[in-house]
Amino acid sequence: MTHCKRPSPPAGGVTARRLISIDDLSDVEIAYILNLAEHYAGFLKRSKPAPHCLAGRTQINLFFEDSTRTNLSFDLAGRKLGADVVNVPVSASSVHKGESLIDTAQTLAAMGADVMIVRARQEGLHQRLDQLLDCVVINGGAGAFEHPTQALLDAATIRSKFETLDGLTIAICGDVKHSRVAGSDARLFVRLGATVRFVGPAALMPDDNQLTDIERCTNLKDGLAGADIVMGLRMQFERMGSGGKEAAQGYFETFGLTHETLKHASPGAFVMHPGPMNRGVEIDGALADDPARALILQQVFYGVATRMAVLDALLTIGK
């Protein structure tokens, strides 16, 4: 599925001025961004330079939590579109002299940011920044709450294999409770017509009042039955507190994703993982490295193309 031709924007343009939750985008904006991601994937596959639609614009990447994929793919995406990109070296910044996260972000915005990509663990920080800053705020990961560009790149990756998510069954397995990916993915996949199921031990399921429309299954065999996509999640020990390591005890034996356990899913099912992976904890290395079954590096590839699409759509279309 390669859109060589640039897709036409929605009739009313892209009206979203922020991307904090996947629900900040309308259905037509999501469809447009996914088509635009495929368009940019065509440039990346052919190592062809993309038009510099962000020339003269300033993009600031402000990551208060660790990141490899999201930070660096936003960096690449902005540069490929011609933006001036600044990666804030948070660990060497004035945050360590006691400057608050909000003062830091306002200081950076005053340097002329057109867009700021922010990763932080605090609930509500992104919304507060959106109110205070005169630039587009994009969520690069918010605590255990949302990771909307991960959801978009995951959908783009699935579409590259299945054309559409409509009618697919997608099992999201593991530490759903502490995952911001699971919530954003589930919301988006359901909107795109997929059936989504959370699979994992009861202790790692979301609270009863959250994501109530998603089926939960605490048995791997039943949870994977009929799945076209099996999405593994990392044990997010950093959000588990002191009892964290106990959650991992015996986890691989019961819920680990392997070639053997993948037999419970549809024949030809693919395995995905947002990364970083812990091999031998939630996924077997041999499965993760199997190019016939694993789409994990394709997710990374679509990370760049999708973030190019998000930056283009939010900064240039209809503005």
Residues near ligand CP, by CB under 6 A: 67-71, 141, 150, 274-276
Residue 68 contact partner, candidates ligand ASP, ligand CP, none, CB within 5 to 8 A by sort of partner? ligand CP
Q: With contact defined as beta carbons under 8 Å apart, do 127 and 281 qualify?
A: no
Instruction: Tell me the closest approach of the beta carbon of residue 179 to ligand ASP, in angstroms.
Output: 7
Instruction: Tell me the closest approach of the beta carbon of residue 270 to ligand CP, in angstroms.
Output: 17
Instruction: Tell me the closest approach of the beta carbon of residue 180 to ligand ASP, in angstroms.
Output: 5
Instruction: Tell me the closest approach of the beta carbon of residue 296 to ligand ASP, in angstroms.
Output: 12
Cβ proximity to ligand ASP: between 105 and 296 the closer is: 296
In angstroms, how far is CA 136 from the centroid of its own chain? Answer: 18
| CA 221 – CA 229 distance, rounded (Å) | 14
Cβ proximity to ligand ASP: between 177 and 180 the closer is: 180
Cβ proximity to ligand ASP: between 18 and 180 the closer is: 180
Cβ proximity to ligand CP: between 74 and 198 the closer is: 74
Q: Rounded to the nearest 5°, which phi and psi values hold at 157?
A: -65, -45
- Rounding to the nearest 10 degrees, give the CA dihedral for residues 317, 19, 62, 66: -130
Residue 236 contact partner, candidates ligand ASP, ligand CP, none, CB within 5 to 8 A by sort of partner? ligand ASP
Instruction: Tell me the closest approach of the beta carbon of residue 15 to ligand CP, in angstroms.
Output: 26
Residue 234 contact partner, candidates ligand ASP, ligand CP, none, CB within 5 to 8 A by sort of partner? ligand ASP
Give the contacts of 286 (CB within 8 A, at least 6 positions apart): 258, 259
Does residue 276 have a cis peptide bond before it, meaning omega lies within 30 degrees of 0?
yes
Per CB under 6 A, residues contacting ligand ASP are 141, 147, 180-181, 234, 236, 274-275
Q: Rounded to the nearest 5°, which phi and psi values hold at 3?
A: -90, 90
Q: With contact defined as beta carbons under 8 Å apart, do 295 and 68 qualify?
A: no
Q: 142 pairs with which residues across the strands?
A: 120, 146
Exposure string over 270-307, b if 16+ CB within 10 A, otherwise e: bbbbbbebeeebbbbeebbeeeebbbbebbbbbbbbbb
Cβ proximity to ligand CP: between 148 and 274 the closer is: 274
Instruction: Tell me the closest approach of the beta carbon of residue 27 to ligand CP, in angstroms.
Output: 24
